[in-house]
């Protein structure tokens, strides 16, 4: 063990493991891997340093509370102590007697950064601010009902760090003082779990470092004579926030370990010291690889396969632009659960990274485009000809007012059920080309009888369980029901939805017992090890199989999640251009590089996704990827709610909370009620954006353009225009590759009784190339080609006509513009 760091959960949960990774890279490591251990809050960071040893070098991180930092230093069990409070006189004396010197001296007590203790409640709690005295009375048990502090009547449930926690020591000294903590308080070593419990308890209140608020709501705190303040980077940095504190590393006066001083010096320089508060309160990973121009790329890709795929993008970028350095600003947390709050803070205070990872749809358009946090990148699509090689449905997902705002790296298939092929074979279970719920539960029952956890989940961040529910919901309601749910036509207490909830509740009986402490990739590792048989997860799991060297259809197999054949949950990843990006030119170059065919062919095989581009060399991809590409081309595409595409953040949070609650009490009525209420609060604004990715057709009443032909004006009089076009290859009436999908969407719309009695009008147009008479004839032929396709689908248009080069919707000076103008419009009267 090269270096041992023990103590604070606040520092040791994520910050120090991340610092260890970057420190080892700085030292020249050829590979670095973080390995969470079986015991909670213990992690090994393993690296290969060719100049140090032939074997791997390991840094041990144990985050069991600040008290253990000083106990383990005194007993020789660690080299560096991590603490979220200052050492006490008794602890300092104990360490001095152990020969460690005066740990209160500046050489031994290193201020790593600043943090604030956040007090938080459930998001539904109307209480938004409290005084320090009110908080002390609550946690000491003097105040026991929320109505006593202006809330709704109900008992107050307390959540607190355990006795070893620096959070508790700080809270006791700043808030409780001489009052004891109420014996009714539930105690936790893990701050993330404490926060998640509060997020799931309508009457709960807890406290932890400000980086652990997660799905709860921070309370503004006031002292006598001052206004109430929330814990923010500014209020903590100025020490105006009443519960501000410093974070420390403690080292012996004369450390014997050669790595101790090197690590401490690196950590302080990496974080910028106590005078440089970072947007998370105390942490921002910024590993500078070059002293030249530095492009900051912000993401949450930290698992082994994700890192490999991201590095492939970096390698491609550096090959094209060798004079630019990269700041790899990653923040761990599945699905971006930890990264997004950090990013939002940075954007709000005007300190954006150059580019950040995002999911298209609601997340991109409502959280980043509407507040004007990012700039359009439409010129990259036009100059690179990307409109021809990226499906329109994908481009629509990241487009607002005709402008594209992100470049996609790949598209994940969200509803995949993976299985350990050898384990199932041992127990006589065969999986065919698809699986029903009945077959799935029968297999689970058989495995459970044999003492095996049938279903593996890693939901330490909640989202993995929410994804399991999302996949199950799609399997019951189907793609049409999915669309109806998210546009308000189907209610969340519909019997089909409740059936999905019941299936999900039943699945809890088959879960791995350690699911709450695992990340998603650790759950996939359990499947590879044969500890569990199935896991329902997006195909980023395939990246983990690839990294581990597992063989398709020998070690593992896959099938669509039960009931979801013919549907494809899109989980797409992309990157933005920040408004006022510090290095705009370098950022544009980055986006151009990741959109290239070469980058996408390198990225997707490592990440498990399929490329956003359709012109890649498919022979470079394995069997799974080729299967997923075929599914994507043939299936009905639906957006993911869990990954921020189908609904706004408020509903996404409500879903996470409802899932957490259902896992605990299996109360489907309560689950349904929570989601009905959340959907109601989202209101019309939600439904306005849930006609997602161009998949739903809008009925519009546009103004008639000046100079429109009289016959055109006459024919559309009293009609409404549909928001879709059919496009054609140049000089022909042959529909392009996207047309069949557009036809199916139109047929679905016209099957609605609302539209069945309305006349269907098809009006064709051409570009400006060629003679006018020929263009008129060609535009009519195009409208007739659409009419013929509709008639074989049982729909007969009332009017078919063509208007040649009239009424262009784009410039005819570019090929892209001419392609847009070769179209057929659809009207209903």
Check residue 343 and give left, alpha or beta (phi > 0: left; psi -120 to 50: alpha).
alpha
Tens digit of pLDDT for each residue in 612-651?
998 888 888 999 999 999 888 877 888 899 988 888 878 8
pLDDT at 280 over 60: no
> Is the separation of the CB atoms in 594 and 377 below 8 Å?
no
Predicted local confidence at residue 13, as pLDDT:
82
CATH T-level assignment (fold) for domain 293-409+571-616: D-Maltodextrin-Binding Protein; domain 2 (3.40.190)
Residue % of the chain over a pLDDT of 90 = 52
pLDDT at 562: 97
Three-state secondary structure string covering 385-415: CHHHCCCHHHHHHCEECCEECCEEEEEEECC
Mean pLDDT lowest for which of 10-24, 168-182, 283-297? 283-297
pLDDT of res. 285:
29
Helix (H, G, I), strand (E, B) or coil at 819: helix
Pick from 359, 357, 354, 392: nearest CA to 375: 354
Give the separation between CA 546 and CA 605, rounded to whole angstroms: 8
Who has greater pLDDT, 636 or 403?
403
- The C-alpha R_g of the chain, in whole angstroms, comes to 29
What whole-number distance in Å separates Cα of residue 644 and Cα of residue 363?
A: 5
The most confident of the ranges 156-165, 673-682, 692-701 is 156-165
> Do 668 and 502 form a contact (C-beta atoms < 8 A)?
yes
Q: Is a pLDDT exceeding 50 seen at residue 272?
A: no
pLDDT band for position 758 (50/70/90)? confident
Q: pLDDT tens, 55-114?
A: 889 999 999 999 999 999 999 999 999 998 889 999 999 999 999 999 999 889 988 877
Element (H, E) at 736: none
Which long-range contacts does 443-446 make (Cβ < 8 Å, 24+ apart)?
443/533, 443/534, 444/507, 444/509, 444/510, 444/534
Digit-coded pLDDT (tens) for 53-69: 778 899 999 999 999 99
- Complete DSSP assignment for 171-190: HIIIIITTSPPPTT-EEES-
What's the confidence (pLDDT) of residue 751?
67
Rounded to an integer, the average pLDDT of 721-727 is 83
Does pLDDT of 286 surpass 80?
A: no
In this structure, what token pair is assigned to residue 802? 């063509």
Q: Domain 699-828 carries which CATH code? A: 3.30.1330.60
What is the β-pairing status of strands 399-400 and 556-560? unpaired
Q: Same CATH fold, 699-828 and 293-409+571-616?
A: no
Quick check: 231 and 281 in contact, CB under 8 A?
Answer: yes
Strands (DSSP E) found in 622-698: 636-639
> Which helix (H) or strand (E) element contains residue 666?
none
Main-chain phi, psi angles of 718, to 5 degrees: 80, 5
Name, in order, each residue with C-beta under 8 angstroms of 807's C-beta and a sequence gap of 6 or more: 705, 708, 709, 712, 765
Q: How many Cα atoms occupy the beta-carbon half-sphere of 323 within 13 Å?
A: 4
Q: Which segment of 316-320, 571-575, 590-594 scores lowest on mean pLDDT? A: 316-320
Q: Select, from the ranges 277-291, 324-338, 433-447, 580-594, the one with the highest average predicted confidence (pLDDT).
A: 433-447
Residue 277 pLDDT greater than 80, yes or no = no
Look at residue 235 in the predicted model and tell me its pLDDT: 67
Query: Is the CB of residue 257 less than 8 Å from the CB of residue 81?
Result: no
Tell me which of 12-16, 498-502, 600-604 is least confident: 12-16
| Predicted pLDDT at 349 | 79
Contact 303, 34 (CB under 8 A): no
Assign 271 a pLDDT band (cuts: 50, 70, 90).
low
Residue 580's φ and ψ, nearest 5 degrees, are 70, 35
- Over residues 143-154, the pLDDT tens digits come to 999 999 999 999
Sign of the CA dihedral with 782 first, then 786, 787, and 792 last: positive
CA distance 233 to 694: 39
Band of the pLDDT at 732, cuts 50, 70, 90?
Answer: confident
Neighbours of 414 (CB within 10 A): 28
Q: Which residue has the higher pLDDT, 757 or 355?
A: 355
Cα–Cα distance for residue pair 249/618, rounded to 1 Å:
51
For domain 3-113+247-271, say whether CATH 3.40.190.10 is its number.
yes
For residues 436-455, give the mean pLDDT: 97
Rounded CA gap, 302 and 24, in Å? 16
Mean pLDDT for the stretch of residues 511-518: 92
Whether 545 shows a pLDDT value over 90: the answer reads: yes
Map 241-263 to HEC letters. CCCEEEEEEECCCCCCCHHHHHH
The tens digit of pLDDT for each residue in 255-265 reads: 999 999 999 98
Strand-pairing partners, residue 726, are 824
Higher-pLDDT residue of 280 and 206 is 206
**Residue entry with tokens 């705009």:** 584
Six-digit token string for 15: 């910050």
> What local confidence, expressed as pLDDT, does residue 697 receive?
65
* pLDDT beyond 90 at 180: yes
Calculate mean pLDDT across residues 510-535.
Answer: 94
**Confidence band, pLDDT 50/70/90 cuts, at residue 795:** confident
Instruction: Give the model confidence (pLDDT) of 297-336 as tens digits.
Output: 999 998 778 899 999 999 989 888 766 778 888 887 666 7
Per-domain residue ranges of the chain: 3-113+247-271, 293-409+571-616, 699-828
Distance CA 23, CA 751 (A): 61
Mean pLDDT, the chain, rounded, equals 87
* Share above pLDDT 70 across residues of the chain, in percent, rounded to a whole number: 92
């Amino acid at each position: 063990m090269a270096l041992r760091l023990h103590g604070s959960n606040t520092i040791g949960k994520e910050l120090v493991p991340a610092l260890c990774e970057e420190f080892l890279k700085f030292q020249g490591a050829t590979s670095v891997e973080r390995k969470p251990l079986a015991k909670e809050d213990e992690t090994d960071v393993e690296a290969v340093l060719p100049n140090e040893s032939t074997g791997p070098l390991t840094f041990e991180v144990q985050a069991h509370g600040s008290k253990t930092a000083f106990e383990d230093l005194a007993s020789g069990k660690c080299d560096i102590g991590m603490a979220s409070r200052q050492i006490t006189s008794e602890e300092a004396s104990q360490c001095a007697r152990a020969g460690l010197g005066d740990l209160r001296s500046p050489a031994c007590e290193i201020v790593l950064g600043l943090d604030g203790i956040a007090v938080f409640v459930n998001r539904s709690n109307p209480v938004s601010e409290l005084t320090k005295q009110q908080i002390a009375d609550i946690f000491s048990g003097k105040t026991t009902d929320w109505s006593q502090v202006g809330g709704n009547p109900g008992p107050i449930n307390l959540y607190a760090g355990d006795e070893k926690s620096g959070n508790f020591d700080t809270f006791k000294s700043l808030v409780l003082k001489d009052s004891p903590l109420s014996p009714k308080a539930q105690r936790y070593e893990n701050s993330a779990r404490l926060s998640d419990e509060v997020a799931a308890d309508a009457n709960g209140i807890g406290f932890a470092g400000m980086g652990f608020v997660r799905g709860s709501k921070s309370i503004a705190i006031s002292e006598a004579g001052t206004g109430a303040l929330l814990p923010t980077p500014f209020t903590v940095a100025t020490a105006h926030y009443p519960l501000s504190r410093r974070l420390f590393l403690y080292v012996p006066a004369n450390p014997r370990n050669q790595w101790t001083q090197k690590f401490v010096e690196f950590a302080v320089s990496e974080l910028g010291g106590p005078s440089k508060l970072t947007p998370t309160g105390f942490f921002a990973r910024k590993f500078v690889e070059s002293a030249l121009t530095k492009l900051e790329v912000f993401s949450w890709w930290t698992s082994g396969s994700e890192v490999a795929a991201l590095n492939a993008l970096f390698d491609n970028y550096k090959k094209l632009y060798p004079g630019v350095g990269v700041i790899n600003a990653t923040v761990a947390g599945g699905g971006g659960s930890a990264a997004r709050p950090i990013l939002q803070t940075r954007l709000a205070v005007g300190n954006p990274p150059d580019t950040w990872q995002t999911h298209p749809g609601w997340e991109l358009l409502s959280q980043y485009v509407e507040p004007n946090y990012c700039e359009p990148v439409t010129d990259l699509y036009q100059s690179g000809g990307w409109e021809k090689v990226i499906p329109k449905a994908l481009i629509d997902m990241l487009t607002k007012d005709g402008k594209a705002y992100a470049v996609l790296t790949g598209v994940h298939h969200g509803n995949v059920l993976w299985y350990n092929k050898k384990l199932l074979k041992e127990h006589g279970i065969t999986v065919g080309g698809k699986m029903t719920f009945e077959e799935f539960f029968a297999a689970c029952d058989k495995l459970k009888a044999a003492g095996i956890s049938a279903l593996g989940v890693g939901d330490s961040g909640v989202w993995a369980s929410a994804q399991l529910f999302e996949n199950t919901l799609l399997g019951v309601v189907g793609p049409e029901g999915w669309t109806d749910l998210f546009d308000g036509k189907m209610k969340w207490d519909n019997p089909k939805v409740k059936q999905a909830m019941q299936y999900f509740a039943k699945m809890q009986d088959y879960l791995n017992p350690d699911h709450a402490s695992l990340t998603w990739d650790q759950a996939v590792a359990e499947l590879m090890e044969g500890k569990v048989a199935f896991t329902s997860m997006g195909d980023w799991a395939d990246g983990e199989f690839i990294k581990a060297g597992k063989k398709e259809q020998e070690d593992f197999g896959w099938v669509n999640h039960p009931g979801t054949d013919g549907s494809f949950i899109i989980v797409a990843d992309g990157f933005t251009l920040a408004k006022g990006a510090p290095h705009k030119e370098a950022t544009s170059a980055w986006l151009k590089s990741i959109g290239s065919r070469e980058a996408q062919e390198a990225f997707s095989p490592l990440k498990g996704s399929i490329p956003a581009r359709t012109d890649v060399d498919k022979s470079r991809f394995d069997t799974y990827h080729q299967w997923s590409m075929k599914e994507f081309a043939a299936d009905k595409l639906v957006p993911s709610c869990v990954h921020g595409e189908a609904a706004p953040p408020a509903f996404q949070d409500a879903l996470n909370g409802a899932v957490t609650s259902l896992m605990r009490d299996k109360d489907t009525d309560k689950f349904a009620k929570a989601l009905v209420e959340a959907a109601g609060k989202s209101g019309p604004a939600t439904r306005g954006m849930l006609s997602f990715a161009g998949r739903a057709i809008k009925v519009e009443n546009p103004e008639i353009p000046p100079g429109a032909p009289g016959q055109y004006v006459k024919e559309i009089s009293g009609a409404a225009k549909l928001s879709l076009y059919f496009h054609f290859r140049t000089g022909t009436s042959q529909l392009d590759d996207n047309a069949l999908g557009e036809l199916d969407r139109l047929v679905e719309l016209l099957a609605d009784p609302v539209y069945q009695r309305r006349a269907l009008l098809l009006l064709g147009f051409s570009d400006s190339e060629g003679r006018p008479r020929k263009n008129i004839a060609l535009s009519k032929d195009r409208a007739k080609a659409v009419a013929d396709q509709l008639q074989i689908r049982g729909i007969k248009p009332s009017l078919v006509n063509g208007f040649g080069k009239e009424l262009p919707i784009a410039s005819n000076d570019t090929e892209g513009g001419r392609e847009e103008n070769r179209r057929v419009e659809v009207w209903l009267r």
